[in-house]
């Protein structure tokens, strides 16, 4: 646990789900409705540092959450990703505590096709509460 780490110190009551090794949270700056994060409880800096048992717990959680997104939010498709970019200074864009994104996608969305960077708005308290309730 690192005191200055956003994922080590995140408010646990804002979680959607807790498993033996990880938490699921709404993304703070969602790229689409239903964008969630799967965050190992322990502070690992990369996938290479994660024990297989924790990796298996993460991937089982991905399976569960993808099912819930389809069933409960009527999501059509999604990206599952992790950004390992140790060359970027730690900031709002990069966290040293590994986490995995599930980003709901549609055929027409402009994620990755927009010119320049997409303006990401912080999730509202209302939307966060709705998502937690919906996916719990």
Interacting residues with Zn ion (CB under 5 A): 2, 5, 7-8, 43, 97
SS3 of 24, please?
strand
CB of residue 5 to Zn ion, shortest distance in Å: 3
- Report how far residue 18's alpha carbon sits from residue 15's, in angstroms, rounded to the nearest whole number: 7
| 104 contacts 33 by C-beta, under 8 angstroms | yes
SS3 of 10, please?
coil
CB of residue 129 to Zn ion, shortest distance in Å: 24
CB of residue 37 to Zn ion, shortest distance in Å: 13
Would you say 96 or 111 has its CB closer to Zn ion?
96
CB of residue 97 to Zn ion, shortest distance in Å: 3
Would you say 54 or 75 has its CB closer to Zn ion?
54
- Report how far residue 128's alpha carbon sits from residue 136's, in angstroms, rounded to the nearest whole number: 12
């Amino acid at each position: 646990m690192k005191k200055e780490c956003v994922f080590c110190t995140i408010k646990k009551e804002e979680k959607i789900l807790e498993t033996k090794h990880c938490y699921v949270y709404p993304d703070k700056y969602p790229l689409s409705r239903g964008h969630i994060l799967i965050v190992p409880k322990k502070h690992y800096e990369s996938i290479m540092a994660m024990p297989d048992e924790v990796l298996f717990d993460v991937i089982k959680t991905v399976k569960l959450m993808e099912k819930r997104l389809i069933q409960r939010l009527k999501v059509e498709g999604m990206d599952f990703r992790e950004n390992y970019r140790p060359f970027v200074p730690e900031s709002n864009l990069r966290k040293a505590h590994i986490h995995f994104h599930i980003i709901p996608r549609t055929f027409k969305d402009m994620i990755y096709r927009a010119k320049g960077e997409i303006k990401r708005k912080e999730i509202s308290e209302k939307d966060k509460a709705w998502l937690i309730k919906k996916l719990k």
